[in-house]
Structure 1
Amino acid sequence: MNVVTVFINGIEYNLKGDEQEEYLHKVASYVDKKVKNILENNSKLSTSSAAILSALNVADDMLKVQNNNDELSKQVRELKKVEKVYEDQINSLKKQLKYTEELNGEFKEKLKKAESDDQLKEKDKQIEKLKEEIEIIKETTQKYIKENTKIIEENKELKFQVQSGKYKIIDLQHKLIENQINLAKEKKQKNPLLNRGSR
């Protein structure tokens, strides 16, 4: 467990935590800025009132990040559904393409056995038509593959944002807890009766 000495609104505190010292200093600095900002806007406030308002601001920040995180998670779930639909469509198109190529192969075999010119011409037309269909299917498949790739990239980015949001929530929760601890310490220091009662 790490123990660091920090200053919040000019008052010295000893913070203990499993987190790294740099993180604990960062938390204290964040709370210090919040308290000082509130006191600058209203110098008549007591330190304890400023601490309470700071706690409210931190809680507000945390809830906003959490709401944003929930929204991003919802978008990720929706994108996963879309991605699944595209994957199913791509698989279906690949099956169609394979089937069409098999048909094309069958037609070529039959053409070899054809005897009349009329039959050959008809088969040629059918082959050309199948070739056109194959090209269309290939183009459509490529289009879906590109769209799917784009969705996968967007999905990765959203997952990253969701993870970042979770870390921000954890960070804000730590800050809120530290702020509450600081408020309790300040109340204890300012109220001698509380100090005597706790002995």
Structure 2
Amino acid sequence: MENRAKVSIYGGTYSIQGEAAPEYIERLARFVNERMEGVGRSLSNGTPLQVAILAALNIADEYMQVRDLKVGLTGELEQKTRQLISLLDEGLIGDIFSQFEASRSHPPLP
């Protein structure tokens, strides 16, 4: 189902059509607008195209940093999970072995 949202970004009005909810599209547009306004303030003589390109680069930089962080955290989580599983396995195997040894030294009563 196609949804539509009318949004304002850096002085322009755009009609956006997509699968996402209109509220989400509006949220994305607010984010882009905020970034472009921030770049526009620091680049006072920049054209709208220059502002858009620099804002896109800033957004891409943030995205890549978050993606790299996620990859690192995912790898760390997987490693810690394997370590915990190994410790659990060692503990369980040790318990089972101890129980087995105890049962061999004390046979059940008839």
TM, length-normalised to structure 2: 0.88
Structure with larger Rg: 1
What is the CA deviation profile of residues 87-136 of structure 1, one whole-angstrom value per residue up to 9, with x for unaligned ones? 22112211123124314533x96xxxxxxxxxxxxxxxxxxxxxxxxxxx
Q: Between the two proteins, what is the percent identity of the paired residues?
A: 20
Amino acid at match of 1:21: P
Amino acid at match of 2:60: A
Amino acid at match of 1:2: N
Instruction: Give the helix-richer structure, 1 or 2.
Output: 1
Gaps of 5+ in 2: none
Amino acid at match of 1:15: I
Partner of 2:39: 38
Partner of 1:94: 95
Regions of 4+ moved over 2 Å: 103-106
How large is the RMSD of aligned CA atoms in angstroms? 1.7
- DSSP 3-state at the match of 2:20: coil
Partner of 1:67: 68
* Cα distance in 1 for residues equivalent to 2:30 and 2:14: 12
Partner of 1:29: 30
* Cα distance in 2 for residues equivalent to 1:95 and 1:3: 62
* Cα distance in 2 for residues equivalent to 1:17 and 1:83: 44
The CA deviation at 1:80 is 2.4
Gaps of 5+ in 1: 110-199
Partner of 1:151: none
* Cα distance in 2 for residues equivalent to 1:17 and 1:90: 53
The CA deviation at 1:36 is 0.2
* Cα distance in 2 for residues equivalent to 1:27 and 1:67: 22
Partner of 1:49: 50
- DSSP 3-state at the match of 1:12: strand
Q: How does 1:1-199 map to 2 (within 5 A)?
A: 1-103=2-104, 105-106=106-107
Amino acid at match of 2:48: T
TM, length-normalised to structure 1: 0.51
The CA deviation at 1:65 is 1.0
User: Which is bigger in relative contact order (C-alpha 8 A, separation at least 6)?
Assistant: 1
* Cα distance in 2 for residues equivalent to 1:15 and 1:64: 28
- DSSP 3-state at the match of 2:38: helix
* Cα distance in 2 for residues equivalent to 1:31 and 1:8: 7
Alignment coverage as a number of residue pairs: 108
The CA deviation at 1:53 is 0.3
